[in-house]
Amino acid sequence: MLTFVTRALSENGDANPSTMRVATLLIVVAILTGWLATTLKSGQMQALSTEQVALVLGALAAKGWQRGRESEVVPASLP
């Protein structure tokens, strides 16, 4: 299980986790954990606020944008 999480959070499958992936995961988990707790406590499905949706989608969009920018970068050839 820990190996799966480590590989999922790393960029190239190595053991070094991506900071952006860890930050995105923390944002999503924090928002959804709070939502789940209030839903379970109240006994009814709670709506996510606009701010919560914006935070989750913003974090995911930022990661997607970063991933796209990384694929555009072509390493310079060595002389």
pLDDT at 1: 67
Whose structure tokens read 């789940």? 36
Model pTM score:
0.70
Q: Compute the distance between CA of residue 62 and CA of residue 79 in angstroms, rounded to an integer.
A: 34
Q: Compute the distance between CA of residue 49 and CA of residue 78 in angstroms, rounded to an integer.
A: 51
pLDDT per residue, tens digit, the chain (79 aa), is 667 777 777 766 666 777 888 888 899 999 999 999 999 999 999 999 999 999 999 988 988 888 777 666 656 555 5
